[in-house]
Structure 1
Amino acid sequence: MAEEVSTVIDRETVISDIATVLDISSTELTEDTNLLDVGMDSVRLMSLVEKWRAGGAPHADLVTLASDPVLGAWLDVIVP
């Protein structure tokens, strides 16, 4: 079964998607969270980038996000 892709990419969606792939509660994430410190790796990041780009976030880019793995920086890039 194909994974359902959201058509609206907002802050809550990004945070929820990250929490889901890391298997943690979204309440554990703040804008200052370094996502590498909570288990983000390149495979998970690639999966999220593909999902967000398909969902309408053209600025979601693997290199950009990997270069600054802090949640607040990701939100600034992904959410218009």
Structure 2
Amino acid sequence: VGCSQVADENEFAQVDAALHSFVFAKTSKFEETNNLQSHLEKMESCIQDFEEGLEFLFRRLIKIRVFLLNVLNH
């Protein structure tokens, strides 16, 4: 599941709202805990997707660097 930048920003806002609701909840903490946990799991997935994208980018940068060094040396 991929997350766009807008979705990531939205997910952070949703986690912030869920955390605020959890801290100041006048209702059942159980419901708020489940809500917060759900949002945190979604955010974790987005962060994992972001990390995978960064790893791919890093590998591509290394390949490009090697290519450029080979061009300069020949």
Same-fold status (TM-score > 0.5): no
TM-score (norm 1): 0.32
Higher helix share: 2
TM-score, normalised with respect to structure 2: 0.34
